[in-house]
Structure 1
């Protein structure tokens, strides 16, 4: 072997060693800074008949909302360690005695619960109830529809009122605004067209300007619908394919997580109402399940197969595999909590800088 060849070989080994040392140092730094959270605790409801579809953080821990035995509404409070401190089931019925199945819920700033659901079947009802912190019903509201009804989303508004969405059949989707006592204020609708035969409003959120954004599906495409505070349509834009979720963003904007079939992966779209838009690849192709604004800025994204934290510019800070995830939520300690398979609640450590 010539001297020059030996020298190149030694030089190559030195470069490889430097790369390995840098990689190890980087991984050590990431672990030290908490950029890859680990599981702190898990609460498993398997075999109990309880299905969880919402979770919110409280001043003492968490509250979860779902159903029991596919009919009764289920409410529970957890402490910070994930132990059940209080639980309650509600047998919700319309004025003529029909059983209501809850499919949407919200936890208000005052610690109350908003519940929305339907009486399954044709010639049906949708139903809304507001309860106090102990699950005692304060008021109920129901409306009849001569079609199959799906109740999709319910949220408290900035004026302590309620905004919600539901479908009547496959051809029409509605957004409705109530005041804090349940009195009707306005309604707006999306209808099918010749080229868009199916429509569904899946998510509704109050926007920073006092209006609302609604995430909807129409003929396999994801669309964002912007409404004014009085319920007037302002604009509709399409963003990618299939299932997506949206959340208001700073500076009068929005953030969307959904799937881009051209990139063959899930993406985060950060946009402004003036039309500016940034798309960031997430490096995974799971189905979008949720997106929430993180307390320190940025976003926590739930895919069917992962929890992903992004900064305010959409760059991935960390990702963690999660099987059958249905919703993820950032927590005040800088960690996250998520629901898996509608039966498990999993808490990730609070050192991830969210």
Structure 2
């Protein structure tokens, strides 16, 4: 069977699985709608949307970029009324450059301050910080470019009590792929008061900045190595600074190879903070809320993931019920791809309330959204209309409270079978509660943990494991009478177990199909970059599955189909990983059973499929 035909066949069967044409599968019940789209509007042509905020007159101001006649991009600034109708717009552009606006605030005098970047044709990899001051009618009062050699992306603006401004962001050093975090302080006329950069390791980012609850300011972001270097240092960063930009204290929440980065911070009701972040756990992107006290001590932490779909948030806001993360939701399978606006709401303790998705035309990108005065939300984005991109705003109504569905706790489980780490490093775990309705929720900061051998590893109250000395053991979690166990292996500090291999690994196929109750033999091959020799490393490879209840791979390299569905498997060898899609179909049906099955039309059409093995 050819690969081309195989992909077509898998797509067809996947469609049957998705749309309920196989016995035992039916359309999923539609989620109860909690918010509705009040209005959605497009602005400009060949335009992009980056941020929107409410204004004191009940309207909004939004910023992005736009291409008009000619080859240069301009910053795009829109003042809108409560219904999204344009009151005025500005398209500033620094002479003979490309410009983009990323952040905006309304100033105390009723005007606006916009921050973006601008770059010239002569040095396209350097986008200098571009600041624009406007009055309430949209007239440009002054423009400023901060001279530097980094490609600047501003991420936050704060007006101080005395009318000055802090602008925080990060700048990539193009020739080495590092990020440098900075904070610029300017006065009301745009004069530079000071310009500080913050160096904790090779690469540092600031993604948000807010006034601190006890004076000064709080910045959050990440520290790590450059993209092309291997290194153990991946950490979410939290920094307290004073009025002069000097560090008061900082905390790094380290986790090896996690790409842990904070995207937003907000003050909590009790005087502490809640930080929104994203990181990799078991090769999957998960979102995290971390509650800290005034001094950055962690009080609780929750993780959120929508099965195999991806969520990338840019803003964390306070709501009447607790908090909401605002960003984009990406789902993809063999037949469908969706990029939607995403509102994930939680209560004051981080317990999930709802996940609401909203789509329109194809969405290229989602900007920094905001909570509106009526308790709803407004999203900026870039959508595709034919061959043209447009700046879109979507206004959502406040959520309607829906009584929670009664459910019973049936068990708890770690999302992984085992953990590996170096001595002297730590990793996170994700513990989930499993309920009678099939739903799962994070329990990481609610359970009790114990290590079977504290000389090898320790585990804290948040489920973070710290490796002390080489060896193998396990940790155990308990919650409301249920228990779950996770095997842990600690390697020496000088191990190469987590370093990328000198070559690349590959599976014997990038997609598999098998019938439920059957097995396929897989092979994982390591090909050396230098001599192109190939080695079978199947027995040395660690396998995982997004949905082990659908299909999983045992230690011998046997792919086992358990029940109908689609999943993805991963093969990891040292620091390298490869994945493949897996389709499990219904086993063949005896012909004498077909007639009786087909009479039960409510169960859907019958499809007879036989197991097969992919050709080499």
Where does residue 49 of structure 1 map in the other structure? 46
Shift, 1:51, TM fit:
0.9
Partner SS state of residue 188, structure 2: coil
Which of 173, 180, 183 is matched with 2:181 structurally? 173
**Partner Cα separation in structure 2 for residue 60 and residue 345 of structure 1:** 16
Q: 1:202 to 1:184 in 2, by over 3 A?
A: same
Contact 2:76 2:89 in 1 (8 A): yes
CA contact (8 A) 1:307 1:328 kept: no
Matched, 1:259 2:278: yes
Matches within 5 A, 1:95-114: 97-99=95-97, 101-110=99-108, 111-114=110-113
Deviations 1:305-334 (A, max 9, x none): 121122222222222024553333111112
CA–CA separation in structure 1 for the residues paired with 2:241 and 2:88? 37
2:476 matched residue in structure 1: none
Matched residue, 1:115 = 114
Mark the CA change 1:260 to 1:225 in structure 2 (over 3 Å): closer, same or farther. Answer: same
Q: What do the CA deviations read for 1:247-285 (whole angstroms, capped 9, x no partner)?
A: 231344222222243375212112113313311233435
Match of 1:299 in 2: 323
Segment drifting more, 270-279 vs 320-329: 320-329
What is the distance in 2 between the residues matched to 1:91 and 1:129? 8
Structure 1 residues 123 and 151, CA, compared in 2 at 3 Å: closer, same or farther? closer
2:304 paired with 1:282 = yes
Distance of aligned partners of 1:50 and 1:179 in 2 relative to their CA distance in 1, 3 Å threshold: same
Task: Kindly report structure 1 stretches of 4+ aligned residues shifted beyond 4 Å.
Answer: none
Q: Which residues of structure 2 form unaligned runs of 5+?
A: 1-28, 225-233, 330-341, 360-364, 384-390, 402-616
What is residue 141 of structure 2 aligned with on the other side? 138
CA contact (8 A) 1:177 1:187 kept: yes
Give yes or no for contact 2:290–2:300 (8 Å, CA) kept in 1.
yes
Q: Which residue of 2 aligns with 1:91?
A: 92
1:109-258 to 2 correspondences below 5 Å: 109-110=107-108, 111-120=110-119, 121=123, 125-145=128-148, 147-159=149-161, 160-166=163-169, 167=171, 169=173, 170=178, 172-191=180-199, 193=201, 197-219=202-224, 220-239=234-253, 241-250=259-268, 251-258=270-277
- Do 2:76 and 2:101's aligned partners in 1 also have CA atoms closer than 8 Å? no
TM-score by length of 1: 0.77
8 A contact 2:49–2:367 mirrored in 1 = no
RMSD: 2.8
* Counterparts of 1:72 and 1:86, CA distance in 2: 19
Alignment CA distance shift 1:226-1:115 (3 Å): same
Deviation at 1:233, TM superposition (A): 0.4
- Match of 2:367, SS state, is strand
Is contact 1:40-1:348 (8 Å) kept?
yes
Distance 1:189 1:176 in 2: 9
Ranked by relative contact order (alpha carbons within 8 Å, sequence separation 6 or more), the top structure is 1
Distance 1:218 1:270 in 2: 20
Distance across 2 between alignment mates of 1:310 and 1:233: 32
Q: Distance in 2 between matches of 1:248 and 1:185?
A: 26
8 A contact 2:211–2:217 mirrored in 1? yes
Offset, 1:115: 1.9
Q: Following the alignment from structure 1 to structure 2, what is the Cα–Cα distance between the partners of residues 162 and 100?
A: 24
**C-alpha distance in structure 2 between counterparts of 1:253 and 1:100, whole Å:** 40
CA distance in 2, matches of 1:261, 1:125: 31
Q: Identify unmatched segments of 5+ residues in structure 1.
A: 1-26
Whether the aligned pair in 1 keeps the contact of 2:107 and 2:159 (CA below 8 Å) is no
- Scaled by the length of structure 2, what TM-score is found? 0.46
**1:339 is matched with which residue: 376, 380, 385?**
380
Largest Rg, 1 or 2: 2
CA distance in 1, matches of 2:113, 2:236: 26
